[in-house]
Structure 1
Amino acid sequence: MKVLYLTGYKPFELGIFKNDHPGVKYIQSAIKQRIALFAEEGLEWVIINGQLGAELWGAEMVLELKEEYSQLQLAVLTPYLNQEESWKEHNREYYESVLAQADFVDSISKKPYEGPAQLRTKSMFMLQKSDGMLIVYDEEKDGSPKYVYKDAKRLSESGEYHVFQITFDDLQQVIEDQSHDDWN
Structure 2
Amino acid sequence: MSRLWVSGYRSYELGIFQSKDPKVTIIKEAIKQFICQRIDDGVDWIITGPQLGVEQWTIEVTLELKKDFPELKVALMLPFAQFGSQWNEDNQSTLAQLTSAVDFSDQVSDAEYHSPQQLKNYQQFMLAHTDEALLVYDPENEGKPGYDLTAANTYAEQHPYPISLIDFDQLQETADEYFERQNQRKYEDS
Normalising TM by the smaller chain, what interval? Answer: over 0.9
Deviations 1:147-169 (A, max 9, x none): 11011122234561010111001
Q: What is the match of residue 67 of structure 1?
A: 67
Tell me how many residue pairs correspond in the alignment.
184
Q: Is 1:39 the counterpart of 2:39 in the alignment?
A: yes
Which position in structure 1 is the counterpart of 2:188?
none
Which contiguous aligned blocks of 4+ residues in structure 1 show a shift greater than 4 angstroms? none
Helix, strand or coil at the partner of 1:46: strand
Match of 1:18, SS state, is: coil
Q: Does 1:145 align with 2:145?
A: yes
State whether structure 2 residue 178 is matched by structure 1 residue 168: no
Distance 1:156 1:162 in 2: 7
Give the alignment's TM-score, normalised by structure 2: 0.93
> C-alpha deviations, 1:23-74, integer Å up to 9, x for none?
0010000000000111112211111121110000011001011111122101
SS at match of 1:150: helix
**DSSP 3-state at the match of 2:5:** strand
Q: How does 1:102-181 map to 2 (within 5 A)?
A: 102-158=102-158, 160-181=160-181
Residue 106 of structure 1 aligns with an amino acid whose one-letter code is D
**Aligned counterpart, 1:15:** 15
Query: Structure 2 CA distance, aligned partners of 1:156 and 1:121?
Result: 16
Which position in structure 1 is the counterpart of 2:50?
50
Which whole-Å CA distance do the structure 2 matches of 1:102 and 1:169 have between them? 31
Q: Secondary structure at the match of 1:82?
A: coil
Q: Which residue of 2 aligns with 1:78?
A: 78
Given residue 100 of structure 1, which amino acid in structure 2 is its aligned partner?
Answer: S
The one-letter code matched in structure 2 to 1:64 is E
SS in 1 for 2:50: coil
Q: Name the SS for the 1:105 alignment partner.
A: strand
Percent identity of equivalent pairs: 35
SS of aligned partner of 1:24: helix
Cα distance in 1 for residues equivalent to 2:45 and 2:183: 35
Amino acid at match of 1:130: T
Q: Which runs of 5+ in 2 are unaligned?
A: 185-190
Query: In the aligned structure 2, how far is the partner of 1:114 from the partner of 1:152?
Result: 23
Structure 1 unaligned residues grouped into runs of 5+: none
SS of 2:80 mapped into structure 1: coil
Task: Give RMSD over aligned pairs.
Answer: 1.2
- Secondary structure of the structure 2 residue equivalent to 1:135: strand
What is the CA–CA distance in structure 2 between the aligned matches of 1:157 and 1:169, rounded to whole Å? 26
Give the greater-gyration-radius structure (CA).
Answer: 2
Question: Structure 1 residue 173: deviation in Å?
Answer: 0.4
